[in-house]
């Protein structure tokens, strides 16, 4: 069974901190955020991201486009406003509240609760029991903050930007009362931002922003709104893969795995499974699994027939060439291996490639031919195998299941 922490008791393990975010960690120490120069971004791309031979051949134009995407991603990541604010701003922090604590805070419904202020006086603060998502809310004037025993709350810059002096004191007092910290020290910031449990669940509140500190798309392995597996169903699938490959220990690849959530969870469910997280994105805290920073369109050549199970959860919607991702996954599968690939084509990237539809059409025709020749077993929902493109930038989405029956070189 997966534990809620997802870390199997290793919450103290130091987070992976790729060189991509060196500017962030340096800023916490110095109090000054210095974004990398173009030359430094080039160096980071050379040292942190994969740049070697690829599985599916790339044209000179494709290789140039991939490099441009890597540089753009590094520039975006190292200039995220939320990271700058966390590094150099005045940050307050509220750890996860237990269910009992939340219940105690909201049991009076929308009535006021009493808070002891630093000067010895008492202040009544209004709480609302929940919104339609089941969160409890704390409110000071126009400021509303979600209270949830599954979230950490980070208050960024609000002490300086939008709180009155009285509200500031009230907030500081409240944070102290419930075990929070009004003003994180440099070391506390490092601890909070490198703590994977915090980074996965934290909500950040600024004067004009409220949302997750993470970026998008970091889903769990199991869950209807995540990768869609159940624990039992996933283990049954892996058992079948082991039988087909004749292996007792297998390798899994998550294409576009973000911070490595699904990879870590898969390894906890089956200790004879080794997972690799292929991702384009870097966060201050990432799961301690094998991680390859690389585009799904330019997988390393050494991935050839290495992976017994490959999964991808809608990563393709962020790709300019999802056909290359499909081809790479096909080549990376071992004989007997299985790929479960959600090929989502509704992303904005489709509009940037005038050959988007024709390239996917060609790749699906290739898969169909390989099935006919006995190289793969192919299951595809929807109409993609028979679809004839009528627009340059549109091709239907599909869920693709591939089982490799024999090597493509046979």
Residue 244 and residue 208 in one domain:
no
Residue 263 and residue 316 in one domain:
yes
**CATH number, residue 274:** 3.40.50.150
Q: What is the rounded end-to-end Cα distance, in angstroms, of the chain?
A: 40
Mean pLDDT value of segment 240-253: 98
Residue 321 and residue 254 in one domain:
yes
Residue 149 and residue 264 in one domain:
no
What percentage of residues in the chain have a pLDDT greater than 70?
A: 77
- CA-CA distance, 177 to 164, in Å (whole number)? 20
Residue 269 and residue 387 in one domain:
yes
Q: Which of 317, 307, 382, 292 is nearest to 337 (CA)?
A: 307
Say how many C-beta atoms besides its own lie within 10 A of residue 370's C-beta. 19
Residue 165 and residue 239 in one domain:
no
Residue 163 and residue 291 in one domain:
no
Residue 247 and residue 338 in one domain:
yes
The pLDDT score that the predictor gives to residue 314 is 86
**Domains in the chain, number:** 2
Are the C-beta atoms of residues 287 and 264 closer than 8 Å to each other? yes
Is residue 7 in some structural domain?
no
Q: At what angle do helices 81-88 and 186-194 cross, to 10 degrees?
A: 140
What percentage of residues in the chain have a pLDDT greater than 90?
A: 58
Mean pLDDT value of segment 369-386: 94
Is residue 257 in some structural domain?
yes
* pLDDT at 16 exceeding the cut of 80: no
Query: pLDDT per residue over 279-330, tens digit each?
Result: 999 999 999 999 999 999 999 999 999 999 999 998 998 899 999 999 999 9
* pLDDT at 7 exceeding the cut of 70: no
- CA-CA distance, 8 to 347, in Å (whole number)? 35
Is residue 380 in some structural domain?
yes
The pLDDT score that the predictor gives to residue 75 is 97
Residue 176 and residue 222 in one domain:
no
For the four alpha carbons of 101, 107, 109 and 115, in that order, the dihedral sign comes to negative
Residue 180 and residue 226 in one domain:
no
- Global pTM reads 0.85
101-115, 144-158, 294-308, 372-386: least confident range = 101-115
Residue 249 and residue 112 in one domain:
no
**188 or 106: whose pLDDT is higher?**
188
CB-based contacts of 100: which residues, under 8 Å, 6+ apart?
Answer: none
CB-based contacts of 255: which residues, under 8 Å, 6+ apart?
Answer: 278, 296, 310, 311, 312, 315, 325, 329, 341
Helix (H, G, I), strand (E, B) or coil at 222: strand
Is residue 340 in some structural domain?
yes
CB-based contacts of 58: which residues, under 8 Å, 6+ apart?
Answer: 66, 297, 298, 324
Is residue 143 in some structural domain?
yes
* pLDDT at 102 exceeding the cut of 60: no
CB-based contacts of 88: which residues, under 8 Å, 6+ apart?
Answer: 27, 28, 31, 32, 33
Is residue 328 in some structural domain?
yes
* pLDDT at 363 exceeding the cut of 90: yes
* pLDDT at 130 exceeding the cut of 70: no
Are the C-beta atoms of residues 45 and 68 closer than 8 Å to each other? no
Retrieve residue 124's tokens.
């009544």
54-63, 181-190, 334-343, 345-354: least confident range = 345-354
- Domain end (from 212, 247, 265): 212
Is residue 136 in some structural domain?
yes
Torsion of CA 257, 261, 215, 293, to 10 degrees: -40
- CA-CA distance, 256 to 86, in Å (whole number)? 26
Residue 126 and residue 109 in one domain:
yes
* pLDDT at 127 exceeding the cut of 60: no
pLDDT tier for residue 121 given thresholds of 50, 70 and 90:
low
| Domain carrying residue 171 | 93-186+204-212
Q: What is the DSSP letter of 315?
A: G
- CA-CA distance, 107 to 127, in Å (whole number)? 9
- Domain end (from 194, 212, 230): 212
Instruction: State the chain's mean pLDDT as an integer.
Output: 83
56-60, 171-175, 399-403: least confident range = 171-175
Query: pLDDT per residue over 38-82, tens digit each?
Result: 999 999 999 999 999 999 999 999 999 999 999 999 999 999 988
Is residue 81 in some structural domain?
no
């Amino acid at each position: 069974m997966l534990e809620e922490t997802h870390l199997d008791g290793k919450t103290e393990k130091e987070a992976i901190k790729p060189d991509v975010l060196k500017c962030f960690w340096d800023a916490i120490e110095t109090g000054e955020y210095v974004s990398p120069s173009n030359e430094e971004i080039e160096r980071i791309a050379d040292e942190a991201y994969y740049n070697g031979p690829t599985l599916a051949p790339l044209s000179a134009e494709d290789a140039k486009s991939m490099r441009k995407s890597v540089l753009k991603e590094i520039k975006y990541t190292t200039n995220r406003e939320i990271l700058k604010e966390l590094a150099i701003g005045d940050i307050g922090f509220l750890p996860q509240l237990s269910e009992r604590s939340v219940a105690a805070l909201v049991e009076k419904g929308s009535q006021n609760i009493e808070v002891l202020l630093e000067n010895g006086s008492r202040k009544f603060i209004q709480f609302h029991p929940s919104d339609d998502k089941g969160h409890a809310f704390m409110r000071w004037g126009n400021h509303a903050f979600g209270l949830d025993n599954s979230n950490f709350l980070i208050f960024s810059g609000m002490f300086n930007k939008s709180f009155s002096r009285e509200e500031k004191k009230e907030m500081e007092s409240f944070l102290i009362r419930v075990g929070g910290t009004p003003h994180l020290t440099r070391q506390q910031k490092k601890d909070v931002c490198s703590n994977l449990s915090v980074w996965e669940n934290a909500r950040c509140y600024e004067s004009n922003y409220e949302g997750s500190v993470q970026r998008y798309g970091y889903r769990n392995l199991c869950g209807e709104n995540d990768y869609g597996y159940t624990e039992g169903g996933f283990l049954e699938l892996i058992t079948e893969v082991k039988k087909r490959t004749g292996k007792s220990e297998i390798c899994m690849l998550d294409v576009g795995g973000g911070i490595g959530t699904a990879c870590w969870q898969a390894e906890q469910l089956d200790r004879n499974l080794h997972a690799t997280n292929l991702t384009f994105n870097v966060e201050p805290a990432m799961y301690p699994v094998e991680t390859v920073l690389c585009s799904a369109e330019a997988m390393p050549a050494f991935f050839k027939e290495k992976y017994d199970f490959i999964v991808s959860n809608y990563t393709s919607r962020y790709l300019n060439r999802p056909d290359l991702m499909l081809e790479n996954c096909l080549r990376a599968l071992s004989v007997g291996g299985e790929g479960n690939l959600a090929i989502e084509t509704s992303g904005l990237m489709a509009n940037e490639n005038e050959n988007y539809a024709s390239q996917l059409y060609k790749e699906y025709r290739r898969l169909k031919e390989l099935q006919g020749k006995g190289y793969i077993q192919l299951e595809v929902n929807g109409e993609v195998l028979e679809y004839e493109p009528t627009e340059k930038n549109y091709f239907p989405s599909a869920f693709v299941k591939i089982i490799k029956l024999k090597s493509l070189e046979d």
